[in-house]
Structure 1
Amino acid sequence: MQTSYTIAMKYKNLRLPFLALFLTFISSAVLAQNTFKPKKDVLATIKKNFADADIQYKYMAKQFTDGRFPKTYHPDKDQFETSNSGWWCSGFYAGSLLKLYEATKDTALLTQANHNLKGLEKEQFNKTTHDLGFMMYCSFGNANRIEPKPAYKEIIINSAKSLSTRFNPNVGCILSWNSKPDDFLVIIDNMMNLELLFNATKLTGDSSFYKIAVAHANTTIKNHYRPDFSSYHVINYDPKTGAVKEKKTAQGFANESAWARGQSWGLYGFTVTYRETKDKKYLNQAKGIAHFLLSNPNLPADKIPYWDYNANNIPNALRDASAAAIMASALLELCRYVDKKDGQEYFNVGQTIIRNLSSPKYKADLNTNGGFILKHSVGHFPAGTEIDVPLTYADYYFIEAMQRYQEFAQ
């Protein structure tokens, strides 16, 4: 039987937008072959989680003023922390509201999301950050999907244009962190921003966005990954030659360790890249990362990772709910693209993570936790920031994972 990939190769000379639409149709037929049976109790738990999240996010809306964006909550100080619109997490709040609106049909959530989006609009022209995918696609991408508007489309396209200015063809990557002129720092997180570029090609027919995303993914496979499919956090390139100068792990335990959230970013990013290209090398990369994670002797039985898979105080190391939520969401998409055996494993782990994040250990009581759904995430452990606190992206990907799980019941 022909797969969507082999069919795509036959039609590789088609213009990209048409090819993308064509592959969407073909891949739908392929995805239909891999169906998994969700558990009734998990579906009931998800329904309750969404109802509770509705209450939580209305409570959260009372914690900050206009023009600010939720960042985290410090339970030891009973202190809610916000950011301006330029912070890399600024798009997750609106994105979570929009996804919760889809789940609950509570129009108050949509109203709040639309209000918050207005303060984010100016970031479409921000060329100083690589995080525009997080900021603008998790927000306006969802908004345009739910209520398509020309203004949303324009914002997405402008954001992709801004992101594209950070691409260096000598390196084959998008610059992550601004640094010295002779350094070119790229972090694994940047794989998450490629979805914005893929979407911009669909919206415009301009293949340059697509080509930048593919180049970045290819370079990341080549240089970010070790033979066991674990990832460094940061690669420092020579911007003139593209040569690798340094490999390190800034937010992890050590340069050669596997920082948990970074591993989840990679898993998610390469799953998206396979979805958008149907190139099997990205599927194989995602499968390799999944194998590293799921067979890792330091992955706890409840599948909620320690903040680093090589932390020095396992089993007493802090867990990272955000790494778990991202991994669950990625696996609940990846399971659709692989054979039945691997797919069932990915589905089961995603299900297990949802179960455990829904437990009182990780899920906050109503009208507590600053309004965030999940507790116990880790931002930047070595820097001593956002340690064992709720984080906006933990909630966002937890909501997304639950939505993806529900889709198997439809």
Structure 2
Amino acid sequence: MKLKIKLASLMLLSYTFVHAQKVDVKKSMQSATTQTDVLIKNVDSARKIKPKQVSPRTVENGQFKMVVSRDWTSGFFPAQLWFYYAYTKDKKYLDLARKYTEDIKVEQFNKGTHDLGFMIYCPFGNGYKLTKDTAYKAVIIQAAKSLSTRFNAKSGVIKSWDHNGDKWKFPVIIDNMMNLELLFEATKFTGDSSFYKIAISHADKTMKNHYRPDFSSYHVIDYDTVSGNVRNKLTAQGYANESSWARGQAWGLYGYTLCYRYTKSAAYLAQADAIANFILSSKITPADGIPYWDYNDPQIPNVSRDASAAAITASALYELAKYSKERKKYKAAADKILLSLSTKYTSAPSANYGFLLEHSTGHRPAKSEIDVPINYADYYYIEALLRNKNKGY
């Protein structure tokens, strides 16, 4: 009996030690910058062949893939370089961030996408924060004007996609919550409340129509712009219409957390808390905190994980911990995810052309970017590292 008690005590001690570990941010950032130096060389080589391709996106089937500026992921790479400058104060990263940010500038006039928050605010917003360059500020304001043209007053939301008109009329995806930061900042810069009002309307309608009683999210809500009513509730990138696509849950958590930052609305804080509870209470997610690509895929555990969803979630939880009564719980959860990403999901040195994280899932139903490195996973991973160290993000 004494031996059993002693063994149980040792196991508990071991469990406590493992779960009390903290990520070594300094070491992780050093590894990240070294790895990104490899990525930069590959980007420069690729651009000599195809100059219009401005940013690295992924590695798929062993092939290094770049994108043009109008791709929704184009802003993450230069934004990541701004993070490195924020952390290191090394002029090398300042110069590189400026160089690659400039390549995305033309998209400030793009009215054909809802993704201007990702494309413009991530690089230009971080650039403005660190340099106070008024040219960056002007780009952000123009991008907010472009994004505002996609708002429909009757339905009260910003249109996400212009394609596949046979499937939907006015589709709004949960990802669109991430683009509201651009609008909030534009109001701060200009004093023009119209941007703020659009963001609030979109957040309120999304809260009403995208969420189920358990605070999981639909991916796509299709609106009727004449009546303003919901036509259909669908998925595009999840397993099924009624399933919970992992990255969608992360986008919603991050989106309502940033809405609370700008508005201090108790409703948005409550929404973020509820979404966090859905994510953290999942019995499906493995012990390391990295979710499967969709919570409801019947093939679990024999399906891909999504490190990008985990990185977004960790970054959001660090910010939410500053506002919520569940501070300790959220910080502990973020610490666990970040430790897993930093120790089990990072690329080997110089592998994957210089991308940081492995095992993300982009668009599984389309058989695209399954179990791969991807740029937005890296971006939110670095942001989470900075937030772990309270670096102002």
Amino acid at match of 2:38: Y
User: Partner residue of 1:62?
Assistant: 41
Q: Give yes or no for contact 1:325–1:401 (8 Å, CA) kept in 2.
A: yes
Question: CA shift at 1:176, angstroms?
Answer: 0.1
User: Partner residue of 1:395?
Assistant: 378
In structure 2, C-alpha distance between the alignment counterparts of 1:404 and 1:57, rounded to whole Å: 20
Pairing partner for 1:344 from 325, 328, 333: 328
In structure 2, C-alpha distance between the alignment counterparts of 1:172 and 1:363, rounded to whole Å: 41
Question: CA shift at 1:408, angstroms?
Answer: 8.3
Matches for 1:159-178 after TM superposition, within 5 Å? 159-178=143-162
User: Partner residue of 2:74?
Assistant: 90
In structure 1, C-alpha distance between the alignment counterparts of 2:26 and 2:304, rounded to whole Å: 28
User: Partner residue of 1:357?
Assistant: 341
Question: CA shift at 1:41, angstroms?
Answer: 6.0
Pairing partner for 1:289 from 275, 279, 296: 275
TM-score (norm 1): 0.87
User: Partner residue of 2:105?
Assistant: 121
User: Partner residue of 1:404?
Assistant: 387
Comparing both chains, which one has the higher relative contact order based on Cα–Cα distances under 8 Å and sequence gaps of 6 or more?
A: 1
Q: Secondary structure at the match of 1:63?
A: helix
Matches for 1:27-176 after TM superposition, within 5 Å? 42=22, 45-64=24-43, 65=47, 66-67=51-52, 68-74=54-60, 76-77=61-62, 79-176=63-160
User: Partner residue of 1:12?
Assistant: none
Q: Secondary structure at the match of 1:358?
A: helix
Question: CA shift at 1:122, angstroms?
Answer: 0.5
Question: CA shift at 1:208, angstroms?
Answer: 0.5
Question: Which structure 1 segments of 5+ residues have no match?
Answer: 1-38
Change in CA separation of 1:54 and 1:190 when aligned onto 2, cut-off 3 Å? same
In structure 1, C-alpha distance between the alignment counterparts of 2:82 and 2:20, rounded to whole Å: 25
1:334 aligns with 2:314: no
Q: Deviations over 1:66-92 (max 9, x none)?
A: 442111013x42x11011000000000
In structure 2, C-alpha distance between the alignment counterparts of 1:202 and 1:118, rounded to whole Å: 23
Amino acid at match of 1:226: R
In structure 1, C-alpha distance between the alignment counterparts of 2:352 and 2:225, rounded to whole Å: 43
Question: Which structure 2 segments of 5+ residues have no match?
Answer: 1-18
Question: CA shift at 1:106, angstroms?
Answer: 2.5
Q: Give yes or no for contact 1:91–1:120 (8 Å, CA) kept in 2.
A: yes
Question: CA shift at 1:316, angstroms?
Answer: 2.0
Q: Deviations over 1:174-228 (max 9, x none)?
A: 0001143971000000000000000000000111000000000000011100010
Amino acid at match of 1:209: F
In structure 2, C-alpha distance between the alignment counterparts of 1:331 and 1:272, rounded to whole Å: 11
Amino acid at match of 2:345: Y
In structure 2, C-alpha distance between the alignment counterparts of 1:40 and 1:288, rounded to whole Å: 25
In structure 1, C-alpha distance between the alignment counterparts of 2:391 and 2:140, rounded to whole Å: 29
In structure 2, C-alpha distance between the alignment counterparts of 1:49 and 1:104, rounded to whole Å: 13
In structure 2, C-alpha distance between the alignment counterparts of 1:188 and 1:90, rounded to whole Å: 19
Q: Give yes or no for contact 1:168–1:174 (8 Å, CA) kept in 2.
A: yes
Q: Secondary structure at the match of 2:42?
A: coil
1:376 aligns with 2:355: no
In structure 1, C-alpha distance between the alignment counterparts of 2:299 and 2:121, rounded to whole Å: 37
Question: What percentage of aligned pairs have identical amino acids?
Answer: 53
User: Partner residue of 1:185?
Assistant: 171
Q: Secondary structure at the match of 2:268?
A: helix
Amino acid at match of 1:222: K
In structure 2, C-alpha distance between the alignment counterparts of 1:131 and 1:150, rounded to whole Å: 22
Q: Secondary structure at the match of 1:235?
A: strand
1:367 aligns with 2:343: no
Change in CA separation of 1:206 and 1:381 when aligned onto 2, cut-off 3 Å? same
Amino acid at match of 1:302: D
Amino acid at match of 1:57: T
In structure 2, C-alpha distance between the alignment counterparts of 1:380 and 1:189, rounded to whole Å: 13
Q: Secondary structure at the match of 1:386?
A: strand
In structure 1, C-alpha distance between the alignment counterparts of 2:171 and 2:385, rounded to whole Å: 34
Question: CA shift at 1:42, angstroms?
Answer: 2.9
Q: Give yes or no for contact 1:53–1:100 (8 Å, CA) kept in 2.
A: no
Question: CA shift at 1:313, angstroms?
Answer: 1.3
TM-score (norm 2): 0.90
Question: CA shift at 1:55, angstroms?
Answer: 1.4
In structure 2, C-alpha distance between the alignment counterparts of 1:198 and 1:169, rounded to whole Å: 18
Question: CA shift at 1:149, angstroms?
Answer: 1.1
Q: Give yes or no for contact 2:360–2:373 (8 Å, CA) kept in 1.
A: yes
Q: Give yes or no for contact 1:306–1:318 (8 Å, CA) kept in 2.
A: yes
Q: Secondary structure at the match of 1:177?
A: coil
User: Partner residue of 1:35?
Assistant: none
In structure 2, C-alpha distance between the alignment counterparts of 1:383 and 1:298, rounded to whole Å: 23
1:199 aligns with 2:185: yes
Amino acid at match of 1:365: A
Amino acid at match of 1:270: Y
Q: Give yes or no for contact 1:92–1:392 (8 Å, CA) kept in 2.
A: yes
Question: CA shift at 1:238, angstroms?
Answer: 0.7
Number of matched pairs: 365
Pairing partner for 2:300 from 294, 304, 314: 314
In structure 2, C-alpha distance between the alignment counterparts of 1:106 and 1:372, rounded to whole Å: 20
